[in-house]
Amino acid sequence: MANTTSAPLDLQHQISTMKSQSGATVFDSYQTSLTGRYCSAEMSQLFSQRSRHSTWRKLWLFLAEAEKELGIENISEDALREMREHLMVTDGDFEVARVEEKKRRHDVMAHVHAFGVVAPSAAGIIHYGATSCYVTDNAELMLMKEAMDLLLPKLAKVISNLSNFALKWKSEPTLAYTHLQPAQLITVGKRAAQWAQDLLFDLEAIEHVRSGLQFRGAQGTTGTQASFLEIFSGDDKKCDQLNELLCKKTGFPSCYPVSTQTYTRKVDLIIANAIAGLGASAQKITGDIRHLAAWKEVEEPFEKDQIGSSAMAYKRNPMRSERIYSLARELMSKPASFANTLSDQWMERTLDDSAIRRIDIPEMFLLADAILLSLDNVTSGLVVYPNRVHARVQEELPFMITESIIMRLVAKGESRQEAHEQIRVLSHEAGAQVKNEGKSNDLVDRIRKTGFFEPIWGELDGMLDSKLYTGRSEQIVDKFCGEGGVLEGKLKAYKGYIEKAGVAELSV
C-alpha cells in the first residue's frame, strides 16, 4: 500500500487555493520545484508561511503565560484566552499583516499588530520585553527540530530497504571495482550493506544534532536579558525561571548558555553539516546505481508505461537516481552558505543573515526530504539481473584466479617471482586479445597450454567457481544486516514507522 502521507501536494488543490484577486494561478508565477514536484506535503506545510507565523503566535502566547506565572499582573486571563483562540493565522490575518508591513517595513511588528487585532485584550502585552529574534529564532529552532523528526524515520526506512536487499543478495558474487577497474569479487549484498552503513552514519549524525538542539529563549536585544530584568524589577531568578518555563512549554531541554541578539549561527552550520552528509551519501549510492544500470546489472524501478527517452525508445534511463544525484548536489552546497552567514555576523548580529536564512533553512530540509522520498522509492524496488551479473564476473574471473594460482604453485615448490612473471605475460596477452580483437578472455586456455602451470592444471576447473573469491562478504552482511546485527539495534526506535510505511510514491 502506498504511503499517501508522503505524496506531494495535490496540484489542483494548489491551483484552487493560490488564485489571486487578478485570477492568476500557480502557472503564472515562479513556484519552487521542491514543493511542486519533489518533497512531501508534511515538509512543505511545515515551512509554509501559515506554519511559521502560527508558531510565532504560540511563542507570544508562551511568553505571556510565563510572564503571568512569574507575577506580571497586567496580563489578563482574557488576553491569554483570546491569544489561545487565534493561534492559527488566517488568510484575513495575513492580509492585515501585509498592509501593516508595507507601512512599517517590519514583518514581526506587522504580525504583532495582526495578532492584536484578533486578540484585542492582549494587544498591549504581545511581545512584552522581547526582541524580534525571540519569535524568529525560536520559531526556526522549533521548525528545524520538527523537520528532523520528519526526516529521521524516512531515513531509517531507506536503511531498512537496503538491509533487506543486502540480505536477499548477500551470496551473489559480483565484480568489485577499485579505480573503477574490476577488482577482487564481492557480493551484490555486500555493496548494498556499505550503502546502508553510510546512511546509518547520517542517521546517527542527525540524531546527535537533534538531541543536542537547545532553545534561544527570552534573551533580550543583545542577549543580556536587560529588558526582562527590568520587567521583573531586578529579580535575577525570575529571568532564569522565565526561560525554564519557555523550554518546558516548547519541549526543549534548555537554552543556549550564551546568546547575542540571535542564537549563534554556528548551530545552523552544525545542523547543515549533518543534513548535507545525507546528500553526499545519496549521491554516492545513486552514482553506483547509475553505473550498475549502464552495465545492465542492477536497475531502479521502471514502470510499465514509463518512457526512458523521447527520441531513443529502447532506453531505460535511471531518472530517479539522476534526480536524487542532482538534488544532493544542491544540498551539499548548503553548509558553505551557512558557514558564510556565521562568519559574517559582526559583533552581536547583522541583518544580512535574515534573507538568506529564509531561503537556506527551508530549502535544506525540503531537499533532504525530497531525496529521501526518491531514495525510498528506488531502494524499495531495485532489480537485479543475476545472469548479467554472472556473465560479467565470468569475463574477469580468469584474471581474479591468478593470485590463487601463484600461491598454489609456490606451495608446490615453484618460485613466486617466476610464477608472477609467467602469469603477467599471459594476462597481458589475453587482455590484448579482449581489447584489440574483441574476443573473449582466454587466459585459462593459455594457462592450460603452458607447461610451467602443469602442476595446477587439474585444479583449474574447481578454481573457476566465483563464490570462492568473495571472501567473508556473506558473513559481513549477516553481521551488519541480519538478525541480532548492527542495524537491528540501530533501527529499533523506528520499527513501527518502517512496518507501517509503504513505498513512497513519486508524483513525477
pLDDT in tens, 264-277: 999 999 999 999 99
Q: Does residue 474 carry a pLDDT above 80? A: yes
Calculate mean pLDDT across residues 21-39.
78
Is residue 195 classed as helix, strand or coil in its secondary structure?
helix
Determine the CATH number of domain 402-463: 1.10.40
pLDDT-based confidence at residue 352 (cuts at 50, 70, 90): confident
Calculate mean pLDDT across residues 273-296.
96
Q: Where are the beta strands (DSSP E) in 126-272?
A: 173-178, 181-187
Calculate mean pLDDT across residues 187-211.
98
Residues designated catalytic: 179, 309
289 exposure class (CB count in 10 Å sphere: 0-12, 13-18, 19+)? buried
- Smallest CA-to-CA distance from 456 within 378, 507, 494, 404 is with 404
Q: Does residue 303 carry a pLDDT above 70? A: no
Stretch(es) of the chain classified as CATH 1.10.275.10: 49-128
Whole-number Å distance between alpha carbons of 201 and 105: 44
How would CATH label the architecture of 133-302+322-386? Up-down Bundle (1.20)
470 near 190, Cβ under 8 Å?
A: yes
Q: Which range has the top average pLDDT, 151-155, 337-341, 398-402, 447-451?
A: 151-155
Query: Please, what is the angle between helix 91-104 and helix 107-118, to 10°?
Result: 130
* Residue 31: predicted pLDDT: 82
pLDDT-based confidence at residue 94 (cuts at 50, 70, 90): very high
Calculate mean pLDDT across residues 427-440.
89
* Residue 313: predicted pLDDT: 61
Calculate mean pLDDT across residues 384-400.
92
Is residue 174 classed as helix, strand or coil in its secondary structure?
strand
Determine the CATH number of domain 49-128: 1.10.275.10
345 near 325, Cβ under 8 Å?
A: no
pLDDT in tens, 188-197: 999 999 999 9
Stretch(es) of the chain classified as CATH 1.20.200.10: 133-302+322-386
Calculate mean pLDDT across residues 122-143.
95
Whole-number Å distance between alpha carbons of 348 and 389: 60
C-alpha cell, 98: 501585509
Q: Which of 12-16, 191-195, 271-275, 348-352 has the lowest average pLDDT?
A: 12-16
pLDDT in tens, 159-172: 999 999 999 999 99
Exposure on the CB side of residue 216, measured as CA atoms within 13 A: 32
Percent of the chain with pLDDT over 90: 79
Q: What is the pTM of this model?
A: 0.89
β-strand partners of 174:
186
Calculate mean pLDDT across residues 37-63.
95
- What's the mean pLDDT when you consider all of the chain? 90
* Residue 32: predicted pLDDT: 86
Calculate mean pLDDT across residues 64-71.
96
* Residue 364: predicted pLDDT: 97
* Residue 314: predicted pLDDT: 60
Whole-number Å distance between alpha carbons of 287 and 293: 10
* Residue 26: predicted pLDDT: 67
Stretch(es) of the chain classified as CATH 1.10.40: 402-463
> Does 251 or 301 have the greater pLDDT score?
251
Q: Does residue 95 carry a pLDDT above 90? A: yes
